[in-house]
A and B are shown apart, each in its own frame.
Chain A
Amino acid sequence: MIDEGNDVGRLHSVSLNRELCMGCTNCIKGCPTEAIRVRDGKAVIDENRCIDCAECIRICPHHAKRAVTDTLPELSERHDDFPCVALIPPSLYSQFSAPANRASILNAMSTLGFDYVYEVALGAAASSVRTREILNETRAAEEVLKDGAESEFPLISSACPVVVRLIQMKYKSLIPHLISLDAPMEITARYAREEASKKSGVPPENIMIYFISPCPSKRSASLNPLGQKESDVNYVLAMHDVYPLLLNLLEKPNTGSLDASGKADSYPLADPTGVQWATSGGEASTLDTEKYMAVDGIHNVISILNEIENENLKDIEFVEPSCCFGGCIGGPLTATNPFSAKARMRSVIHKAREDHGKNPDKCLHSNALNPHIWEEPLSDNDSMRLDEDIETALGKYDQMEKILSTLPGLDCGACGAPTCAALAEDIVQGNALETDCIIKLKEQIRKVAQEINILKL
């Protein structure tokens, strides 16, 4: 865990308030990659093993963990030479109840002071088009697949950065299954930068792009991008920070109407398929296949990735894993409960389709945006490896098994590691002592006490 004020969130976006941390075992037990330990009474995160899933933020009963995000720029600090662009993910629409709608939410965003506003649904719709092509290409390749050659099915969506980081670390054999397209946030950011530059006459590098995020993993993805050298997103704002400001505007009469600001042309509307991405299964439903599986919740995602590795999902063409329950609408930075959000999202999508049906030309054609294939191959994360040298790793593994057999197997977490196996590993790696186990410590104290008693006699 990164201490606040101390190089906060270079790689990841979770910070710890040391004063609030009680050193309990909740976060270490809930972390799906066993990345957290309690040391000297406070939680410490192994940055190499953190995948930004935010389970620890959700679990911590003391609210000691917080997602690190950027702050909304003050209007007075803005400068015409650096126009500000807001990127709105479809999940934001699910946060407000009717009569708020896409247009009024986009409009309220621009009233907050953003010079340009773009829907991330634009990038999502473009990604759907490209993914349909990739599915077709894979089907064709599958037909001429030579005996014994590896099938690329099921393809795995790379939209959730948490899932991509999990695969990099623990499911490396599945890297070839990942759809190697930039995420909708990046596709839209690149488009928005070009468009805003054209409209304002300011060089593209001076355009400041703000993404309104439902989760901290998007901030990590902008700082430490996946499949590309540099992100096009400059700042990431927490959805729940922007929410009250928008709510305030949306409740005032008139600011909600498109005509009020006269900026209607600064936000082209996306194809409804892009809006669908906000909920689990939304992306998959935009593809022309019934052979898909949508899985939500990080622990469920892990069990499905195991199934794919064991080749038990050969009849599935596309898997859409989302870290959060319900998909992005269930993100830890959202303001509305995911069940209301899901119900509202249904109306938003229905309305989007209806509007599109009436007037298809009002939507920007999905071909206007160009989803890029990852410019660099996904690196793998070697943090699960016991040692760089396999001989040494074998020795450590052996030692780990031996130590584990002497530990009580309670997985109580009192030592600061989530399981006895994790403690055994920490001991072998020189990060913990056998006496960190309270049961072992008790045994030793008893022995010493007995010896003292013998001496007394």
Chain B
Amino acid sequence: MKKALTRLGVRPLSIKRASIAMYEAEINAVIHGHGGVAVVHIFADSVLIEIIDHGPGIPDVEQAMTEGFSTAPDSARAMGFGAGMGLPNIKKQVDLLEIDTKMGEGTKVTMHITF
């Protein structure tokens, strides 16, 4: 996605925001959701990123949005992840964040970034 946005001439700051948001959401999907799929729609004025996993779901979204709150396993923390900053960090980067989650079925994180 980063490469595509660069080739389209999107300004560096917007590319950075989109890259950070996407990276964090991907890490979440890997750590908590047993991996998933990323769908990226690029428009002339914005980018819409969807990260979809079929993991356990998030029991309390509001709590998950709190800085420092983390349920990451020790194995993830050992690799430097799981500081509880993922979702809060995404929120800082994007213009619109939607978290659609069902317990036992999975989570879909939709992020919209205007250039």
A397 contacts chain B at the CB level, 8 A cutoff:
yes
Given contacts A385-B9, A393-B8, contact A148 B42 (CB under 8 A): no
Q: How far is the CA of A310 from the CA of B7 in the complex (A)?
A: 18
Q: How far is the CB of A404 from chain B (nearest CB, A)?
A: 12
Contacts of B16 in A (CB 8 A): 173, 309
Q: How far is the CB of A307 from chain B (nearest CB, A)?
A: 13
Contacts of B4 in A (CB 8 A): 397
A386 touches B44 (CB 8 A): no
Contacts of A382 in B (CB 8 A): 9
A173 touches B44 (CB 8 A): no
Chain B interface extent, by class: 10 to 19
B6 touches A397 (CB 8 A): no
Chain A interface extent, by class: 10 to 19
B9 touches A386 (CB 8 A): yes
B6 touches A384 (CB 8 A): yes
Q: Residues 32-55 of chain B: 1 if any A CB is under 8 Å from the residue's CB, otherwise 0?
A: 000000000011110000000000
A397 touches B8 (CB 8 A): yes
Closest to A387 in B: B9
Given contacts A382-B9, A388-B9, contact A394 B42 (CB under 8 A): yes
B68 contacts chain A at the CB level, 8 A cutoff:
no
Q: How far is the CA of A170 from the CA of B92 in the complex (A)?
A: 25
Closest to B14 in A: A173
Contacts of A457 in B (CB 8 A): none
Q: How far is the CA of A397 from the CA of B7 in the complex (A)?
A: 8
B25 contacts chain A at the CB level, 8 A cutoff:
no
Q: How far is the CB of B65 from chain A (nearest CB, A)?
A: 16
B19 contacts chain A at the CB level, 8 A cutoff:
yes
Cβ-defined partner of B8 (8 Å) among A170, A173, A386: A386
Q: How far is the CB of A156 from chain B (nearest CB, A)?
A: 15
A391 touches B44 (CB 8 A): yes
Given contacts A309-B16, A310-B23, A394-B42, contact A148 B9 (CB under 8 A): no
Given contacts A311-B20, A394-B42, contact A173 B7 (CB under 8 A): no
Contacts of B6 in A (CB 8 A): 170, 384
Q: How far is the CA of A446 from the CA of B64 in the complex (A)?
A: 60
B9 touches A173 (CB 8 A): no
B90 contacts chain A at the CB level, 8 A cutoff:
no
Q: How far is the CA of A397 from the CA of B19 in the complex (A)?
A: 19
B59 contacts chain A at the CB level, 8 A cutoff:
no
B8 touches A390 (CB 8 A): yes
Closest to B16 in A: A173
Q: Residues 43-84 of chain B: 1 if any A CB is under 8 Å from the residue's CB, otherwise 0?
A: 111000000000000000000000000000000000000000
Contacts of A170 in B (CB 8 A): 6
Q: How far is the CA of A391 from the CA of B10 in the complex (A)?
A: 11
Most chain B CB within 10 A, of A173, A309, A382, A391, is at A173
Closest to B43 in A: A394
Q: How far is the CB of A146 from chain B (nearest CB, A)?
A: 12
Q: How far is the CB of B3 from chain A (nearest CB, A)?
A: 9
B104 contacts chain A at the CB level, 8 A cutoff:
no
Contacts of B10 in A (CB 8 A): 390
A172 contacts chain B at the CB level, 8 A cutoff:
yes
Q: How far is the CB of A48 from chain B (nearest CB, A)?
A: 14
Q: How far is the CA of A172 from the CA of B13 in the complex (A)?
A: 9
B7 touches A384 (CB 8 A): yes
Q: How far is the CB of A322 from chain B (nearest CB, A)?
A: 24
Q: How far is the CA of A172 from the CA of B15 in the complex (A)?
A: 10
Cβ-defined partner of A393 (8 Å) among B9, B45, B92: B9
Closest to A306 in B: B2
By a beta-carbon cutoff of 8 Å, the part of chain B in contact with chain A is: 4, 6-10, 12-13, 15-16, 19-20, 23, 42-45, 92
Beyond the given A309-B16, A393-B8, A397-B8, please list 11 additional residue pairs across the A-B interface where CB-CB is below 8 A: A148-B92, A170-B6, A173-B12, A175-B12, A311-B20, A382-B9, A384-B9, A386-B9, A388-B9, A394-B8, A394-B42
- 12 of the cross-chain contacts (CB-CB < 8 Å) are A170-B6, A173-B13, A173-B15, A311-B20, A382-B9, A385-B9, A386-B9, A387-B9, A388-B9, A390-B45, A394-B42, A397-B42
A-B pairs, 6 with minimum CB distance: A173-B12, A385-B9, A172-B12, A393-B8, A390-B44, A391-B44
